[in-house]
Amino acid sequence: MGRIAGVTAAETRERLLRAAADVFAERGYDGTRVADIAAAAGVSNGALYAHFGSKAELLVAALRAHGRSMLAELLAADPDRPVTELLLVIGRKLPRRPDVRGRLIVEALVAARRDQDVALPMRDYLGERAGQISGLVRGAQDDGELDPALSPEALAHFCLLLAMGSALVTPDLHAVADEEWADLLTRVVTVLAPAGITAERESTP
């Protein structure tokens, strides 16, 4: 099971990332061997190590490739959508995400607590996610959509906590009615608006 005939290096890498995402999500980080991922991808261990230096590196690479944030997907679909609307759309989906993406995040977070080899790239990954969110917040503040007194970093951290928490507290463990959750999110987003806009909204019948 070396390099597959007619398959490029880029295709082999993508095959490995897909296999890693599936195997990590099914067996967990500690329960997965590099050989398991290579076998699932149909390549040799040597072919895997030609692309990734370790199991930890492969875990975070799989998270980057197949755990892309809903924020990135929504921005790609509609770059001009207001940030407050983006936050609401994403927030409403958070309680309903028991997918491979959520399981990968859980495995990466748990592994990062015990394994420094995972912790270092996870810090970079989460830092990039936080930077993306804080950049959007700053743009929304410049446009008068969000209160300029808010800390973009603090709001980004809050969003990350919600996203990561939703991967841990899945609907089978605890659930809330969709309508109640949406109402709470709408109230939270309203508070994030500049004071004048918030007062105007509250006074509108």
How does pLDDT run along the chain (205 residues), one tens digit per residue?
Answer: 445 556 788 899 999 999 999 999 889 999 999 999 999 999 999 999 999 999 999 999 998 887 656 677 777 788 888 999 988 998 998 887 557 778 888 899 999 999 999 999 999 999 999 999 999 999 999 999 999 999 999 999 999 999 889 888 888 889 899 999 999 999 999 999 997 554 444 445 4
pTM recorded for the entire structure? 0.82
Of the CA atoms within 13 Å of residue 64, those in its CB half-sphere come to: 15
By C-alpha distance, which of 183, 184, 196, 103 is closest to 147?
196
Class of the CATH domain delimited by 9-64: mainly alpha
pLDDT of residue 133: 92
What pLDDT does 72 receive?
Answer: 75
**Residue 8 one-letter amino acid:** T
Residue with tokens 């999110």: 185
C-beta separation of 3 from 43 below 8 A = yes
Instruction: Tell me how far apart the alpha carbons of residues 141 and 83 are, in angstroms, rounded to a whole number.
Output: 10
| Contact by Cβ (8 Å): 193, 146 | yes
Q: Does domain 68-203 have CATH number 1.10.357.10?
A: yes
The token pair that represents 202 in the structure block: 């509250």
Instruction: Locate the domains of the chain by residue range.
Output: 9-64, 68-203
Q: Which tokens go with 165? A: 């928490």
Please state, in angstroms and rounded to a whole number, the distance separating the CA atoms of residues 117 and 52. Answer: 13
* pLDDT tens string 127-156: 999 999 999 999 999 999 999 999 999 999
CB 90, CB 152: distance < 8 Å: no
Locate 134 and state its tokens.
Answer: 């804080």
